[in-house]
Chains A and B, each alone.
Chain A
């Protein structure tokens, strides 16, 4: 018997990948729907080992998806929703053209609606997986929560973003997991350590929205991302609140008599405003968990090295201290201070904070309160000053948090020239230029020496070269990014191909 002749590309890498065009044909979807589906399901193109073989001998560069991923998409119930949506759009268009308002109303009422719960579970089988992927989610939602109503960004979406992000901030406050804060020119970087995962997010400075040309930014793509991330963050919040024994959605522990009176106006608005104030502890469903946390684990000498063990112990002690950095301090914010990030930071480390009650609701005490220890001011001078408190600039808070101890207030007094604000994310073991300020942080004895002298020495020797080296990595990363400055949706089609040529996201393991 003659064995069947083996054809090329019927097994191995040639059989493992499909081009985007084939994928569209398999799924019977338009490119727009396919894109949406990929975003929601988290499917991405693959970089094959051998491109020529993967493309079945075709030269040039194609977008290749894993065949199994596409087969996986074939079974997705959302595809039917997308098709329903297409039909809905057609019906609406027709009814609009005919000015058939009855039909419009009816169709709108019956419009298809996507539920993404199962996708969240599918993409993140465990809670830790979800936490690991929270960076992009938070940054995008924080940005969207500041957006006005745009063409492809409905008002309720940004309102939902705002609600969820505020809820997340409350969870971080309640669990005291914030570790680092960095004020950059792009925004506030916050880094929290939740369940052993470091989560970093950026909160933009105020008024970050600038109208974008459609060539630059496609809000539809981002809106689809936000659609998924909202659901994801909602579930993450729910679980976080559950872990902290908090009631979800947030409720308040106490409702004063005066509060009940005010609920007459609008209860929902009232609660959401108080929640946004970030200043009131939320309603606990169970008993207070703080007592339970105190349980200490017995020491087992698992690690041989006694010095290492000591280091670990010290680190744990430091973190414990860090959590209560501002405990017992009472802060008052002047009205020019950006309220939300500062309040969030102070509350995360156990401080009490209030502000001018005309600035925002939720102020708990007045400026005239004598027990205030620090007043945060961000203006060169101030009229009436109290003797009983320090007038410091906001950077003092961030620097104290990053240094894990209260910095001397003298450098940050009202109107003083601030010391440089350093990034806490720098790898301490790097072999690159270390600014003298950072070295002084490491070794306090250096600070007492003449810093200017040191600085000049350093600069003359190593600055020029090493500063550049440091930024080289960033520059490289950026190249990918900057090259993609298209975003015009009509162009995306072609640019996708160009994109392929770039080195894929590499995952070093």
Chain B
């Protein structure tokens, strides 16, 4: 490297000359070269007016006290050059020699030697060539150590030219390693003859020595075909050649084998694994067994030479003990103890750069960019709220392929001509195509080509992932089964009546109305055969038959349990009957209570008086159980008790504005609540808890507040003719049966329109009823069927009632197109009674 450095400088001065690098310079210390070069430059600048060398020399030496040697060297060079110019005989050879002298950095002890030099010019030239070669070889083999360099030196010495000798002397000054020759020469001074002789002798000796020493050295015989030397081979990366052979011809790189060849070689060549490429020649070299052995030994961290005896006794060449005399004869120069100032300056610069962060130590930067993986997730589902994307919407997955995408689909999936034409026609609007590819069939997997739009499709997917706006869309996915109301398990809805268990027979005509005692032991029915019958429910026996002298349209048991009293609407009369069944005490108490009328202290208005007259029962009817008779001016259709059992209302549809009359039992008083007729009143009802009164006309149900005496609500039935109404014991739900086959469920809190309309019956609905305890309701109609429904009303106001039809019971027989007239539930049991036109009453349990 040092040689190259000086070479550059040389070019700067003497352009176009061959470069000659003598061996001696190579061994110079680098720093010395640096000095040389510097001073060399300064000397050039002073070159022009250098007529007197000695003066110059003195000047220079005066200037540079530090490096006496070097200074001398350069002055000599200058002098020599100017001298040759002076002589005028500056041939090419001369220049070369001069140049050579430069390179060597030699200093002549005598100027007289110049002449001899000129004489031997020709020889020198030849020599140079040889030397160059030797030099190159040395470069090649520099790694092989000092032996080789010694040898080349020896060769040179064999040439034995006085000039060369001189050079040697100069180099010896610098080079401590080659002391032998130089010492002899120094001693001999500048006498040529002596020198020659000595050189000859010396030469012979050294050659002999060499023969002995290097007999076994084979480094020379090594097949060195590339002469570039030990350089980084990547300098030749961009060229087709690798270097130069002995003849200066380019050594071409071997043809690069393609992957296939190398693969085949790997598969087929048994020696492939031990084949190594020589970077110098680019040739493949098969390692011998010995080589492999060495490598293996190296890998195993053993000594490469198998024969080396590492247990041999140790010979201490250099002892650790301080020797009395130094090994080398020359004492160390003072310089070697002093730190270099220039180096110190350079280091200081670097330190500063590192301090300021301009420069980074090399080790820090060396790190690989290969990603390093580690255990990122310790558990599967740590709910770590690390995802800070607002309201993250994961991208939907792609659809999975169907049969049509198969490489071997069923034949019906392939396009026929028409389909293909259609597909092609949609080239400009590909999104209208039904398939985004043409289904294809291949006979074998081998024949399937790569899909040409694969990359494209992946790219589109990538675009979708980062460019498509995302939103959560609540899509209603309605399953067919969801559309049907969630049917509760029938088990959950039990108990409800399922079978007919008893038939109460005895009436001779249609049974229009029935009612059950509040304890649930007896039942009363009123029929067209002008009688009222009292039945025991559990046995089905008719306990009493009470003739009432008119068609019984309505019967109603007084809800007051302290009274045994039934209100019977027969023609234009309303009879209060004591059935005489059940508790004797209650019966007798009722009799006592009704025996005589209380004092009438209020004046009854004319309007009421003409409509209603109270009358105590006469003796002959008393024994039948009739206690009080209330005469109405029109036919009474319905009678309804208030929950407490003191008031009851009667309905006379033809009574115009006096069609509804409310009676008070305790005071035997009547009042007409409405002054105006709102329509044909069908039926009335008291609210079970609150002072409300329901009046059903043909199309509407009006709700009045009796306390405030005002209309609260008007329910629209959306039907033609209301037949009957019933109220839920909770008081918030109303059931309305109509003659136009409908059953309407009103939620009074919800709206004035029916919450639900049930069209379960085939013909007119005549009777509806709620159960007092169970969530059941029933309806009877002219199609002879009794329908039991589950009607759950929740305490939670937000939850709507659940209505599920449960059972259709049609046991009644047809009679004159009439079916069931009245329906009523047992007060405590989940039983239902129906009275029909077939003269029977039936019990379903």
Residues 91-128 of chain A: 1 if any B CB is under 8 Å from the residue's CB, otherwise 0?
A: 00000000000000000011001011100111111111
Instruction: Report B455-495 residues with CB < 8 Å from chain A CB.
Output: 455-475, 477
A405 interface residue (CB < 8 Å to B): no
**Closest Cβ neighbor of A109 among chain B residues:** B365
Q: Cβ of B435 < 8 Å from any Cβ of A?
A: yes
Query: What's the Cα separation between A360 and B454 when bound, in Å?
Result: 26
Residues on the A chain within 8 Å of B274, using CB: 264
* Inter-subunit contact A235/B373 (CB<8 Å): yes
Is B463 in contact with A487, judged by CB distance below 8 angstroms? yes
Q: Are B470 and A478 touching (Cβ within 8 A)?
A: no
Query: For A234, what are the chain B residues with a Cβ–Cβ distance below 8 Å?
Result: 371, 373
Q: Given that A121-B376, A393-B444, A420-B410 are known contacts, is A140 also in contact with B458, CB under 8 Å in the complex?
A: yes
Within 421-469 of B, Cβ neighbours of A (below 8 Å) are at 430-437, 439-440, 443-446, 448-452, 454-469
Question: Cβ of A473 < 8 Å from any Cβ of B?
Answer: yes
- Is A265 an interface residue when CB atoms closer than 8 A count as contact? yes
Out of B380, B384, B475, which one reaches A128, CB within 8 Å?
B380
- Which residues of chain A have C-beta atoms less than 8 A from B376's C-beta? 117, 120-121, 235, 238-239
Q: Which residues of B contact A39 (CB under 8 A)?
A: 465-466
Least Cβ–Cβ distance between A245 and chain B, in angstroms: 14
Q: Is B712 an interface residue (CB 8 A)?
A: no
Map CB proximity to B onto A64-83 as digits: 1 under 8 Å, 0 otherwise: 10101100100000000000
A–B pairs, 25, beta carbons within 8 Å: A35-B466, A38-B466, A41-B389, A110-B360, A115-B371, A127-B377, A136-B395, A140-B458, A186-B437, A205-B448, A205-B451, A208-B450, A210-B450, A218-B459, A337-B446, A358-B268, A418-B408, A426-B403, A471-B402, A475-B435, A477-B399, A478-B431, A482-B460, A504-B469, A507-B471
Q: Does B326 contact A (CB under 8 A)?
A: no
Does B602 interact with chain A (Cβ within 8 Å)?
no
Across the interface, do B396 and A506 meet the contact criterion of CB distance under 8 Å? yes
Residues of A within 8 A of B445 (CB): 183, 337-338, 378, 393-395
In the complex, residue of chain A having the shortest beta-carbon distance to the beta carbon of B370? A160
**Which residue on chain A has the smallest CB distance to residue B436?**
A478
- Other-chain residue from A123, A126, A379, A475 in contact with B383 (beta carbon distance below 8 A): A126
B residues in contact with A423, CB < 8 Å: 400-403, 405-406
**B: which residues have CB within 8 A of A?**
267-268, 272-274, 292, 295-296, 360, 365, 369-371, 373-377, 379-391, 393-413, 430-437, 439-440, 443-446, 448-452, 454-475, 477
B449 contacts across to A, CB distance below 8 A: 205
Please tell me if the beta carbons of A208 and B454 are within 8 angstroms of each other in the complex.
Answer: yes
Interface centre among A39, A122, A474 (most CB of B within 10 A): A474
Q: From A132, which residue of chain B is reached at the shortest CB distance?
A: B394
Q: List residues of chain A with CB within 8 A of the CB of B369.
A: 113
Stretch at the interface among A170-178, A316-324, A495-503: A495-503
A443 in the interface, Cβ–Cβ < 8 Å? Answer: no
Q: In the bound complex, do residue A231 and residue B371 qualify as a contact, i.e. CB atoms below 8 Å apart?
A: yes
Measured between beta carbons, the chain B residues less than 8 angstroms from A508 are: 396, 473, 475, 477
Asked if A185 and B436 make an inter-chain contact with CB atoms under 8 angstroms apart, the answer reads no
Tell me whether A506 and B475 are in contact (CB under 8 A).
Answer: yes
With contacts A185-B451, A474-B436 taken as known, whether A507 is within 8 angstroms of B394 at the C-beta atoms is yes
Given contacts A44-B468, A205-B450, A435-B403, contact A481 B377 (CB under 8 A): no
Whether A125 pairs with B431 at a CB distance below 8 angstroms is no
A481 touches B386 (CB 8 A): no
Asked, given contacts A38-B466, A69-B390, A221-B459, whether A467 binds B373 with beta carbons under 8 Å apart, the answer is no
3 tightest A-B CB contacts, nearest first: A479-B431, A47-B471, A425-B400
Chain B residues whose C-beta falls within 8 Å of the C-beta of A395 in the assembled complex: 408, 445
Q: Quick check: B382 and A125 within 8 Å, CB to CB?
A: yes
- Residue A27 lies at the interface, judged by CB distance under 8 Å to chain B: no
Interface string of A331-368 (1 = CB under 8 A from B): 00000111000000000000000000110000000000
Assembly CA distance A116 to B376 (angstroms): 12
How many angstroms between the C-alpha atoms of A391 and B397 in the bound complex?
38
CB-based contact B373/A472 at 8 Å: no
A216 interface contact, C-beta 8 A: yes
Secondary structure at the B interface, as helix, strand, loop or mixed, is: loop
- Chain A residues near B295: list those with CB within 8 A: 264
Question: For residue B432, which residues in chain A have a CB less than 8 angstroms away from its CB?
Answer: 475, 479
A378 touches B446 (CB 8 A): yes
Interface contact A481-B457, CB-CB below 8 Å: yes
The distance in angstroms between the C-alpha atoms of A82 and B394, with both chains bound, is: 26
Q: Indicate whether A309 reaches chain B with its CB closer than 8 angstroms.
A: no
A264 to B292, CA, bound (A): 9
In this assembly, does A45 line the interface, its C-beta being within 8 Å of a C-beta of chain B? yes
Q: Which A residues are in CB contact (< 8 Å) with B382?
A: 125-126
Question: Which chain B residues border A421 with CB–CB below 8 Å?
Answer: 406-409
Q: Is the CB of A47 within 8 A of B470?
A: yes
Q: A473 contacts B371, CB within 8 Å?
A: no
**Shortest CB distance B418–A (Å):** 10
Q: Is the CB of B385 within 8 A of A125?
A: yes
Output the residue of B272, B391, B446 with the most chain A CB within 10 A. Answer: B446
Are B394 and A133 neighbours in the complex by a CB distance under 8 Å? yes
Find B373's partner among A43, A248, A480 (CB 8 Å cutoff).
Answer: A248
**Separation of A64 and B390 alpha carbons in the complex (Å):** 14
Contact assessment for B454 and A143 in the assembled complex, using a CB-CB cutoff below 8 Å? yes
- List A contacts of B272 (CB < 8 A): 265
Is B454's CB under 8 angstroms from A204's CB?
yes
The answer on a CB contact under 8 Å between A44 and B466 is: yes
Given known contacts A185-B448, A205-B448, is B473 in contact with A468 (CB within 8 Å)? Answer: no
Which of the residues A123, A126, A186 comes within 8 Å of B381, measured between beta carbons?
A126
Bound-state CA distance A237–B390 (Å) is 28
Decide yes or no whether A485 CB sits under 8 A from chain B.
yes
Asked whether any CB of chain B lies closer than 8 Å to the CB of A459, the reply is yes
Do the beta carbons of B468 and A499 come within 8 Å of each other? yes
Determine the residue in chain A with the shortest Cβ distance to B263.
A358
> Is there an interface contact between B267 and A217, defined as CB atoms closer than 8 Å?
no
Whether the Cβ atoms of A480 and B413 lie closer than 8 Å is no
Which of B292, B370, B410, B413 has the most chain A CB within a 10 Å cutoff? B410
**Are B399 and A473 within 8 A (Cβ)?**
yes
CA distance A204 to B382 in the complex (A): 35
A55 to B434, CA, bound (A): 35
Choose from A63, A200, A358, A500 the contact partner of B400 (Cβ within 8 Å): A200
Q: Do the beta carbons of B405 and A44 come within 8 Å of each other? A: no
B410 A481 Cβ-Cβ under 8 A: no
In the bound complex, do residue B365 and residue A189 qualify as a contact, i.e. CB atoms below 8 Å apart? no
B296 cross-chain contacts in A, Cβ below 8 A: 264
Interface check A300, CB cutoff 8 A: no
Q: Is the CB of B473 within 8 A of A506?
A: yes
* Given A195-B380, A217-B459, A485-B460, CB of A189 within 8 Å of CB of B431: no
Shortest Cβ gap from B359 to chain A (Å): 9
Which residues of the other chain, A, contact B440 by a CB distance below 8 angstroms? 185
Assembled-state Cα–Cα distance A453/B468 (Å): 48
- Establish whether residues A509 and B273, one from each chain, have CB atoms under 8 Å apart when the complex forms: no
User: A184 touching B405 by the CB < 8 A rule?
Assistant: yes
